[in-house]
Amino acid sequence: MAVSVFSLNPAGVPVVQTVLSILSIALVLSVFRALWAAVYNLVAHPLHTVPGPKLWAVSDLPYALCNCSGNSHRRILALHKKYGPVVRVGPNDVVLNHPDAWKELMGHRKSAQGEHAKEPYIMFEAQHSVIGANREDHARIRRAISHGFSAQAMLDQQPIIRKYVDLLIQRLRDHATRRSDEAVEMTTWFNWATFDIIGDLSFGEPFGCLEKTEWHPWVHIIFESFVNLVYLASLKRFPKLFAALMWAAGPTISDTRSKHRKFGHDRITERLALTTERHDFIESLVQRQGEKGLSREEIDETAATLVTAGGETTATALSGAIYYLTTHPEVMQKLDQELHANFESEDDMDLISVQKLTYMLAVLNETLRKFSPLGTGIGRQISEGGDVILGHFFPEKTVVTIHHWSMYHNDAYFADPYSFHPERWLDDARFASDVKEAFQPFSYGARNCIGRNLAYGEMRLILARIVWNFDLRLDAAHKNWVEDNKCYFLWQKGPLNVYLTPKRTKTGSDRSDGGKASPADDCKTAARYRDDVEEAVLLRPNGSPPTPQQQQQQHQQQQQQPADRHGRAPKQPFKTAAQLAEAEKRRQDLKRRVLDGMQGFSMERYRKSDAELRAVRDGRVRAFYEAQNARLDDWLEVDGLVYALADDVIDSLNPDADRDGVAERAGPLQNARGAVLDFLPEAARERRATAARRARWAIKVNVVANVVMLAGKLVSLRFSPSLSLVASTVDSGLDLFCTLIIYGTNRLVDWRLQSLRAKYPVGRRRLEPLGILVFSVIMIVSFLQILLESAQKLLPGGGREVADLPAVAIGAMAANAVVKGLIGLACLPVRTTQVQALVQDCKTDVYFNTASLLFPLIGVAADVWWLDPLGASLLALYVMYDWAETCVLHVSRLTGMSGDEELQQKLMYLAYRFSPVVDGYKRLTAYHAGDGVWVELDVLLDEKTSLVQAHDIVETLQYCYEGMDEVDRAFVTADYSSLAPLGHVQESW
């Protein structure tokens, strides 16, 4: 008899089945090993009592993925909001968010106490630099370079710095003069300037970026290394994967690293060969070279570190300052006034004189708070013996990190943290509750940034010179520049295009009267400045260039009215100017009444932290405080929404104040063409974008997982006729089909075509619950068939054989349960209806596959034939009941079910925010039209309220409602009598 080539022995056991069995056993063992590690990390690890997401405590993977996402700064803040100032984000990683953490983690430690060294993931190759050196070497290196950052050294270095600032202004002025209609990409120019400055101070020669107006190859390598550094640091948490990468890509990485080091070494060699005296950093280092001084390797690495740290971070802060100035014209105006009040000429500006600019310092500090160059943080590894920080004991080798961005955007420490307010640094009463100790942009302790004074001096001088020389206007395409940037340790900045218009200013050396400006010149300059500000603030408040329609209108007006002797269009008639002034006064009054006194962050004192909640023994009391925390979250969200959106809505109202048919101004909403999302609070906008992005990924991952699981079960059916396995396979097939339905509806909702806009004027969001409804019906009908088949087998004549599960089937179903469980946990935080339906499906699959394993296995062990069909029947009943509930829910929502009580309270609180401008409310109705709700609100106004005022109030309130994520449509009507009829002409009931 012929023997098959797929046999291992005379018994004819197939090779494929044997291999699959071995792989299944290996998979099961790996799963048990992972589960054992997860259980240990959750219940027995020394950090198991530290609050944080359980999934993150199990593995390093979530935190590593978070760091590689470019969005870690926002994710970490969200974790602190949920879990408190101390959060466990990995098996051995903790993040802190409390002002005292700076001192307790990075403050002075006695000589007998070990220093908390920099984390090994980032600093694994910086042992010889001032950043990564150990305690003793760091003190020695810092002493050596400290002389290069002293006050006297800054005075000596001033000519070097001034030379490149002059060149920067010259290059920008040349560009603005020759190509006035083109915007300037400011981040590149700032990087060129700061790298030229720090290159000259560190290596004795610049990189030539400003001179050649191009990137130097070495600087380009530095920028590429920032993102790669984060990826490598994340991968280093997994030693085997890191070793595999270094084996595969080691030569390429080593070659890049060698080029980087060789360039720095060659520059230092050339600098050391100079015989002339230079006031730079190398002079300070070389004087201390030798015994107990610095080695050549330490000089090379320290110089390279100074270039990297001193060039990129200063340029980032300057880019952020320009962005916030161009998006806040009132701040720009105050800064310009401060400059003209302190300087008669640009020549008077130097590193010393700009130190008296208090408002300038406030602008820079607020920029460093809002857009800190180091968005995340460099962790510290707890030294031998462990340490107690913020009341928690951390064992040795725990990596503890303080994230700058999340600290500075925590409303527990900074009032209104997402808004740009330089006044918070000038003792403004609105920000008296700010905890300034939380603000440490240059780090803290013995390892804080040694170049702090130089950085402040550079930023003040460059920013002062730019504001003095140019009128700045942001390209409208970059109005969300800060929010669009990704954070990989440092920021990966996108282009920042700004239109530069040279001001008609003179330096002291240009004037024939010895540098003194005449009173007449001052008056002309002031008048010209006032006209420019009026044009920027009134005509284009958002800093965007005029639209073609506006340009055409302005051209027609200029053609109709004769120009003055200077070639400028005459001023508007007095009547028009008065109407514009009255409209502006009305807008500002409405803003003041709606927005002033909105100190929602003060409600935080009523919040109970997680630790306080755990201390409450009475379950009912704890439930009350948890509900109170949820209401606080809702109300603070509403406050932020009103504060951000109402301001832009009011600015967009009444563009034609003189009613001549020509819009004298264009507000933010007109320029954005109704895209309200762009004007929501930064946190809300990011939350919605993140939720949409996660929803798309969750759906795609589910599609792939269902394909793989279905294939595995189809192979398993080849070896077993188990009804439970058949039911599980049918479930996987239906999962794939229904997930494709959800994927299709998700794509259809996002599909934007002009032809569909007219056909579906309010959008197609109801496709999402409709898709889930179809999903539910298919699941119910399909499992009804499984129920009938199982019941038929239980009846007499249905068969009495006991179904057996081979190892391959056990492996496939166990893998299905594990994979679906992990996917469900990963998707659980995504609170969209479609993804939650997938979470429900994953939960069903975990229960279903687990039971599909247990029933046949127990039936074989006990030799009970009816256990398998009984298990399939019970599973089918469970799935039908679970999806029937989902079906009923979405049918109710599609047919107009009322919004829940929590949503009603949130909607009423938003109406309450407008109580200073209305007399009362007659009725608030919220009902579902799918997942979102439609809102109807009747407001009471004084009968003497003008039509314009009534319109502005109602329109602003309606826009704010439609800015809420839960609301699809809002209808706000005004009435002057509380006794007038309610609702519509014909009520539904």
Q: Which has the closest alpha carbon to 724: 857, 538, 625, 590?
A: 857
Q: Are strands 933-940 and 967-975 parallel, antiparallel or unpaired?
A: parallel
Domain shared by 916 and 788, yes or no: no
Buried b (16+ CB within 10 A) or exposed e, 419-429: bbbbebbeeee
Domain shared by 18 and 148, yes or no: no
Retrieve residue 238's tokens. 């997994």
pTM of the model: 0.59
Contact indicator for 450, 130 with CB cutoff of 8 Å: yes
Domain shared by 887 and 916, yes or no: no
Bridge partner residues of 934 (DSSP):
927, 969
pLDDT digits (tens, 9 = 90+) for 208-239: 888 888 888 777 777 767 677 778 888 888 87
Euclidean distance between the first and the last CA atom of the chain, given in angstroms as a whole number:
83
Domain boundary among 475, 508, 541: 508
Domain shared by 748 and 861, yes or no: yes
Retrieve residue 318's tokens. 């300057």
Q: How far apart are CA 118 and CA 383, in angstroms?
A: 10
Retrieve residue 660's tokens. 């001549």
Indicate the number of domains in the chain. 4
Domain shared by 277 and 362, yes or no: yes
Q: What phi and psi, each to the nearest 5 degrees, are found at residue 974?
A: -115, 145
pLDDT digits (tens, 9 = 90+) for 595-613: 765 555 567 677 888 788 8
Task: Indicate whether 283 belongs to any domain.
Answer: yes
Domain shared by 729 and 877, yes or no: yes
Give the residue, 954 or 2, on which the prediction is more confident. Answer: 954
Report how far apart, in Å, the C-alpha atoms of 731 and of each of 349, 596, 672 are: 74, 57, 46
The verdict on whether residue 449 carries a ligand-binding annotation is yes
Most confident residue range from 341-350, 530-539, 648-657, 760-769: 341-350
Task: Indicate whether 169 belongs to any domain.
Answer: yes
The enclosing domain of 282 has a CATH number of: 1.10.630.10
Domain boundary among 28, 44, 60: 44
286 pLDDT higher than 70: no
Task: Indicate whether 676 belongs to any domain.
Answer: no
Task: Indicate whether 659 belongs to any domain.
Answer: no
Domain shared by 840 and 949, yes or no: no
Element (H, E) at 597: none
Most confident residue range from 187-191, 301-305, 972-976: 187-191
Domain shared by 188 and 237, yes or no: yes
The enclosing domain of 836 has a CATH number of: 1.20.1510.10
Angle at 962 between CA 692 and CA 81, to 5 degrees: 55
Interval 902-924 mean pLDDT: 87
Domain shared by 881 and 922, yes or no: no
Task: Indicate whether 792 belongs to any domain.
Answer: yes
Q: What phi and psi, each to the nearest 5 degrees, are found at residue 166?
A: -60, -45
Contact indicator for 724, 812 with CB cutoff of 8 Å: no
Retrieve residue 156's tokens. 């000596």
Q: Which residues contact 598 (CB under 8 A, 6 or more apart)?
A: 639, 642, 643, 913
Domain shared by 823 and 867, yes or no: yes
Domain shared by 925 and 806, yes or no: no
Print the domain residue range for 855. Answer: 700-894
Q: How far apart are CA 241 and CA 566, in angstroms?
A: 71
Element (H, E) at 708: helix 682-717
Of 287-291, 587-591, 690-694, 712-716, the least confident: 287-291
The enclosing domain of 971 has a CATH number of: 3.30.70.1350
Q: Are strands 93-96 and 399-402 parallel, antiparallel or unpaired?
A: parallel
Interval 571-595 mean pLDDT: 65
pLDDT of residue 357: 93
pLDDT of residue 620: 87
Task: Indicate whether 153 belongs to any domain.
Answer: yes
SS3 label, residue 474? strand
Q: Residue for token digits 């935190």?
A: 63
Domain shared by 888 and 915, yes or no: no
pLDDT digits (tens, 9 = 90+) for 31-79: 667 777 788 888 888 998 999 998 899 988 899 889 888 889 999 999 9
The dihedral built from the CA positions of residue 960, 966, 969 and 972, taken in this order, carries a sign that is negative
Buried b (16+ CB within 10 A) or exposed e, 508-547: beeeeeeeebeeeeeeebeeebeeebeebbeebbbbbbee
Task: Indicate whether 121 belongs to any domain.
Answer: no
pLDDT of residue 553: 47
Bridge partner residues of 490 (DSSP):
374, 488
